[in-house]
Structure 1
Amino acid sequence: MDLVSVAAVADNGVIGTDDGLPWPAIPADRRQYRARVAGHPVILGRRTFDSMRADPPGSAQIVLSRSAREASLDTVQYVTGVDEAVAAAATLPAERTYVLGGATIYELFQPVVTEMVLSRIPGTYAGDAYFPDWDRDAWTRRERTDYDDFTLERWVRVD
């Protein structure tokens, strides 16, 4: 199973502030993101899930939470750790699962993701959530697509 982090990252590594995005909305990025994860399971933290509860992404949501919770939707499963999340994703009929954040989730899953799809947002922004540092020598950029307001990059782990 491919495990893929998906994030929008400013030049200074910021991915969020106050449970939201610090930059103005970028509709083209939102569209490509939603299209990418549609039909696939997603792994995300509880706060990130709560911010998307009205319109949850993906075909199934595996929510990492420090405490067990009762699922509010048929597509939601709560887990308490990385191994449990990966095992839950492996039981679903999909070859790819997306990791959607927040910052702690990206950091926890960085050692096990096989790909990263990063929307590079130009500029520096104040924020309280950052994408984790990663060893660029362990990754190779396979794709780069320039859009008007962002650049989309696909990185693959080097074996």
Structure 2
Amino acid sequence: MELVSVAALSENFVIGRDGEIPWPSIPEDKEQYRGRIANDPVIMGRQTFDSMRDDLPGSSQIVLSRSQQTFDVDTAHYARTVEDAIDIAESLGAETAYVIGGGAIYDLFQPHLDRMVLSRVPGKYEGDTFYPVWETDEWQLESETPYERFTLQEWVRRTDT
């Protein structure tokens, strides 16, 4: 199974401030993001899950939580650890599972990722949540697609390191 991180981040790696994105909404980015993860399980933290309850992404939600073990959503699954989350995604028959945040979840999964799909938003923003800085010698930029207000980058973990 391929494990892919998906995030929008600024030049200074900010992904959030007070539970919101710190830049004006980018509908084109939301559309490509939602389309990409629509038919696969997504892995997220409980706060991210709670913030998306009105419009949950993915075919299933695997929620890492230290405090809550059950959810009132049929497609939500509880995971205690990274390994639990990966096992659950595999048990769902997934070829790909997407890690979608928040900041602590991205940190936990970074060593396990096969790919990163990152919407790079120009500018530096104030924030309290960050995407982890990665070792560039461990990753190769596979593609870069410019859009009007962001650039979509796809990174693949090098296998020759």
The TM tier, using the shorter chain, reads: over 0.9
Query: 1:67·1:80 contact (CA, 8 Å) conserved in 2?
Result: no
Letter in 2 for 1:63: V
Matched, 1:25 2:25: yes
> Please, what TM-score do these two structures have when normalized by structure 1?
0.98
Q: Distance in 2 between the 1:72 and 1:139 partners?
A: 38
How many Å apart are 1:67 and its aligned residue? Answer: 2.4
The answer for the alignment partner of 2:78 in structure 1 is 78
Trace 1:1-159 onto structure 2 (pairs within 5 A).
Answer: 1-159=1-159
Segments of 4+ moved more than 2 angstroms: none
Question: Identical aligned pairs, as a percentage?
Answer: 54
Q: Distance in 2 between the 1:83 and 1:67 partners?
A: 18
Equivalent residues, number: 159
Query: 1:144·1:152 contact (CA, 8 Å) conserved in 2?
Result: yes
Which consecutive unaligned segments of at least 5 residues does structure 1 have? none
How many Å apart are 1:62 and its aligned residue? Answer: 0.1
Q: Distance in 1 between the 2:94 and 2:79 partners?
A: 18
Which consecutive unaligned segments of at least 5 residues does structure 2 have? none
Q: Distance in 1 between the 2:44 and 2:70 partners?
A: 16
Q: Distance in 2 between the 1:84 and 1:147 partners?
A: 36
Letter in 1 for 2:114: T
> Please, what TM-score do these two structures have when normalized by structure 2?
0.97
RMSD: 0.7
CA deviation digits over 1:54-101, x for unaligned, max 9? 110000000000124212111000111101111111101220000000
